Amino acid sequence: MNIETTAIKMDELIKKLFHLSKKPILNILNALYDDNLAETSQVSYGSTEFIRDDLVKSTADMFIEVAAGKTIYRYHIEFQTTYDKNIVIRMFRYGFEKAKELLDLSDLTKPLEMEFPDPRVIFIEENEKTPDALQLRIKIPKQASLLYQVPAFRYWLYDAQQLYAKKMYLLLPLQVFKIRKYLKAKGKMDAEAYQNLLQTAEEVVKTVTKALAEEKITPEDAGEMQAIMLNIVEYLYGKYGDYSRIDQEVKSMIKTFYDPGLVEKGRQEGRQEGSRLILQKQIKKRFGVVPQDIEERINTLEHAELEALAEKILEITTEEELRRVIAVRH
């Protein structure tokens, strides 16, 4: 991030958080919607851009689709730093456009049925006017009215430990943003705000580290989460403080936020796991099953060894030969 820039696109940062690994995504959906999605569920993302009849483009924040067995769950999530009473109107319009995409026109003798994705809005910054749910009542003369409701998640009510308890690990980096309301009122980074930010950031780092150690998130997730928190901290100092005069303690603290090694480690582990799965599929296709002793051996191989073995698999004709080859380090 350019320190000189005093603007920050929080919705873009949150979107990055919602595009990390599948496990924490499913956890946060379960928390927001009180669902019980299994880790075997498949996650995909829908298009968020719509072109209206007047050719004006509108963009929603996020549509997520989860396939859990034969059941499809469709979610619509919007992110708001501050309370905006008009967001419910935009969400209805976005939901309507998404429902149009799924409209079944095969039998026009029956009433058309539109299925909206399940809506939620996440408000980051404290505002006493923010309700538990946004409501939009649609009235048509001589017909029953329709109440469109959007439950609101008021983020500022939760600290790092509470988010962890709800398995909302991906929202941890946003904790440092909660101080912005105080900074806007004061107009600058004073001693109280500095200590608050320092303590909050340290708590987030500890909690992210705990989530990583307990395998709630991947190393790549942790790296991205810390990078996003660094981005927010730099924004706060760039706008409300003097970044060039931050003392050594804060500089050291910020340096610990982002460990590029976590991202690279995550990528390496992802490549290794992918090679392992491909090799197991090759063995299963060739011999019908993957014997347990061979699978256990495969799980101990490094990425380069897995690739070398994958190249030889087509030349191997028996399980005994496979056992001999797999016992040798490549």
CA 251, CA 260: separation in Å to the nearest integer?
17
306 and 247, same structural domain? no
138 and 40, same structural domain? yes
For residues 152 and 125, the answer to whether their CB atoms sit within 8 Å is: no
Q: Which of 258, 273, 304 is the last residue of a domain?
A: 258
Helix (H, G, I), strand (E, B) or coil at 44: strand
Other CB atoms within a 10 A radius of the CB of residue 211 amount to 22
Would you mind telling me the total number of residues written for the chain in this entry?
Answer: 330
Domain contains 312 = yes
226 and 104, same structural domain? yes
pLDDT of residue 96: 94
For residues 164 and 211, the answer to whether their CB atoms sit within 8 Å is: yes
276 and 197, same structural domain? no
Q: Which of 258, 274, 297 is the last residue of a domain?
A: 258
91 and 126, same structural domain? yes
Domain contains 2 = no
311 and 178, same structural domain? no
The one-digit pLDDT tens for each residue of the chain (330 residues) are: 333 344 568 888 999 999 999 999 999 999 999 999 999 999 999 999 987 777 778 889 999 999 998 999 999 999 998 888 899 999 999 999 999 988 888 888 888 899 999 999 999 999 989 999 999 999 999 999 999 999 999 999 999 999 999 999 999 999 999 999 999 888 888 888 888 888 898 899 889 989 988 889 998 898 889 889 888 888 888 788 765 555 555 556 555 555 555 555 555 666 676 677 777 877 887 788 888 888 888 888 887 887 788 777 777 888 888 888 877 544
Which structural domain range is residue 313 located in?
265-326
Q: Which of 231, 258, 285 is the last residue of a domain?
A: 258
Domain contains 65 = yes
pLDDT of residue 233: 85
Domain contains 274 = yes
170 and 53, same structural domain? yes
Domain contains 182 = yes
CA 60, CA 292: separation in Å to the nearest integer?
48
139 and 44, same structural domain? yes
Distance between the two ends of the chain, CA-based, in angstroms? 43
50 and 158, same structural domain? yes
pLDDT (tens digit per residue) in 237-260: 878 876 555 555 555 655 555 555
Helix (H, G, I), strand (E, B) or coil at 142: coil
pLDDT (tens digit per residue) in 61-100: 999 999 998 999 999 999 998 888 899 999 999 999 999 9
Query: How many domains does the chain fold into?
Result: 2
CA 243, CA 246: separation in Å to the nearest integer?
5
